[in-house]
Structure 1
C-alpha cells in the first residue's frame, strides 16, 4: 500500500483525504515511479469541483490529485524505454500527490542531474505551458508581450522564457508582487479597472501578443490593445478568448518540450521559483495556498524517498 491524497467525490475541501491505495502496476508503455515531488496547480482544485477541460477523460473516484511529478523509476512496463533507478519527471496517469504513480513513457523525460526533484516537479505543467504559449505567439526579438497574471507559476515561467527570447514583457500582477515581477525584468502593471490604459502608457503602440493566465473581465479589457487576435492566447478561459477572436494555448505535451524546459533550467535561463514546499501529510495546506490565489511562483509537495 502507498499513501496518496485524494478527493472522494466532487465538492469543496471537505471531500479531500489522505488514504492508503494499492501500489500501481505499469502496463505497456508505462513506468512506475516513486514520487519525490509533485507540483501544485490551480487545475488540481478545479478538478475536485467537477470542472473538466474539453476532451478530458472521465474521472474515477476516489481520484488522486496532481498533474506533474518528479521521481525515480521503480519498474517499466513493456515498451517503456526507462530503467529502474533513472530520475525522471512528467505527467502522471494515476495522480501526483502520492508515494507512487504511473507515467506514460512518451510523456516522461530524464531529469538532468543538476536539476533538483523539487524544481523538476514544476516543469510539466507550469513551465511547459509557458513554453508552449511563447512558441505559439512566435514573436521576434524586441517585440512586446503582455502577460496577464504574471506572478503565478505559469506567468513567472512565461516571463523568463520570453525575456530569454529577447522580448519586452509587460505583466499584470497585484501590487504586493511588484518588486518580484520587476526582478524578472518585467514591467509591472497593476490589474483592475483601467488596466488597458496603464498598459498603453507603457506601450503606446499597443502590444504584439497577449498570453492570458487570468481570463474573464481582465482578458476582455486588455484584448483591445491587440490588433492581431491570432496573437491572443489563453491558458485560463477558453470561452472568453473564443469570443474575442483568440485561441487557447496549444499544448504539445511531449518529451521534446519537457527536455527543452529542463535545458533552460540547466542553462540558468529559467528559475522555477518554488516559494513554498509541504510534505505529503500537509497536501491539503499546499492545495489551499494555491486555491486561495495569493501564491507567488510555485508550490510543491515534497515526498521523502
Structure 2
C-alpha cells in the first residue's frame, strides 16, 4: 500500500506518523496524481492543531498533511476534460499531499510547464498563489511602498518578487539570518522584533502605502499604524485581527487561472519559488519541523520518488 504522512488526532508533533493507506480513487471532476513533490506550509501544522478555514468542517482522521503538490496524472474521474494520464500537473489536493498519491480537483489544478521542476511547481499553489492574490488585491500603482512582514518565508519571498515586478518599493521585515535573502530579492530589510516599526519609520518617515502581513498577532498590530489607509492593510497571518484593525484578510482566488499565471511568472523569470530545502517523504517530520519552528528560509518541499 502507498505511504502517507498523517496526523492521527489533533495536537502536537506526537500525533504524526508515516503510515500505509489505500490508494485513492478519483471522483467526478478529480484527478488521481502520483505525487512527485509536496510543498510545506505553516497551515499544514496549524491544521494538525485543529485550525480550520472558514466554512471548513473537521477532518476525517487520520488526515494526510499537505495543501500543495505536483505530480503526474494516473487516472481521471468522471467528467474530466483537459487532463489525461501522463500529464504533469500541480495544484491543491482534496485531502492532503504528503503521500505517494493524491486527489486533485480540476478547478484548482494546472498543467506544469516543462521548464519548471516538480519541486518548484509544488511551491506555487499555496505560497506563490497567496502572494499573487494579495499583491493583486492591494492594487498599488508603480512607485508605491508596500511593507511585507514575514518577508523571508515561502509566501513572503514570492510577495516581494511579485511586488517588485510591478514596480513597487518593498520594505521587508525578517530576521537577521534572512537579511541577505530579502535584500537579494530587491527589498529593503528591516530587522524583525519588538522595535521593527521604528525601523520601518526610519526608511519611510511618512509611513507606507500598504501592508501585506504574513505573521499576525503583535506584528500585525504594530504594522497597522504604519499605513494611513486601512483598506491597504491585508493579512494572511491574522485574519480575524486584521478586520478589527480596519483591514481585510487576503482574498484567495483558488483558481487554475491563478496557477497558470504564477507558473508563467516562473517561466518568464519574474518569480523564483526559492526552494531552499528538500526532504524525502520518509523525513516529512523534519520538513514540517523546519517550517513549524520558524527556521525556514524560502520554501521547504518534500520530494516523493517515482
The interval holding the TM-score normalised by the smaller chain is over 0.9
Map 1:255-270; keep pairs closer than 5 Å: 255-270=256-271
**Which residue matches 1:56?**
56
**Which residue matches 1:87?**
88
Q: How much does 1:194 deviate?
A: 2.4
Q: How much does 1:94 deviate?
A: 2.5
Unaligned runs of 5+ in 2: none
Partners of 1:63 and 1:291 lie apart in 2 by 18
Number of equivalences: 305
Three-state SS of the structure 1 residue aligned to 2:152 is coil
**Which residue matches 1:37?**
37
**Which residue matches 1:227?**
228
* Superposed CA offset, 1:64-100 (max 9, x none): 0000000000010111121000000000013100000
Partners of 2:290 and 2:226 lie apart in 1 by 32
Three-state SS of the structure 1 residue aligned to 2:272 is coil
Give the TM-score, by structure 1 length. 0.99
Partners of 1:164 and 1:183 lie apart in 2 by 14
Q: How much does 1:208 deviate?
A: 0.7
Three-state SS of the structure 2 residue aligned to 1:224 is helix
Partners of 1:110 and 1:94 lie apart in 2 by 20
Q: Does 1:207 align with 2:245?
A: no
C-alpha RMSD of matched pairs (Å): 0.8
Three-state SS of the structure 2 residue aligned to 1:70 is strand
* Superposed CA offset, 1:10-58 (max 9, x none): 1111111111111000111000000000000011011111111221132
**Which residue matches 1:127?**
128
Point out 4+ residue stretches in structure 1 off by more than 4 angstroms. none
**Which residue matches 1:69?**
69
Q: How much does 1:239 deviate?
A: 2.0
**Which residue matches 2:47?**
47
Three-state SS of the structure 2 residue aligned to 1:170 is strand
**Which residue matches 2:154?**
153
Three-state SS of the structure 1 residue aligned to 2:85 is coil
Q: How much does 1:182 deviate?
A: 0.6
Three-state SS of the structure 1 residue aligned to 2:53 is coil
**Which residue matches 1:249?**
250
Unaligned runs of 5+ in 1: none
* Superposed CA offset, 1:238-261 (max 9, x none): 121111101100000000100000
Partners of 1:90 and 1:141 lie apart in 2 by 30
Partners of 2:192 and 2:22 lie apart in 1 by 46
Q: How much does 1:193 deviate?
A: 2.5
**Which residue matches 1:188?**
189
**Which residue matches 1:115?**
116
Three-state SS of the structure 1 residue aligned to 2:131 is helix
Q: Does 1:141 align with 2:142?
A: yes
Three-state SS of the structure 2 residue aligned to 1:162 is helix
Q: How much does 1:134 deviate?
A: 0.2
Give the TM-score, by structure 2 length. 0.98
Partners of 1:214 and 1:57 lie apart in 2 by 24
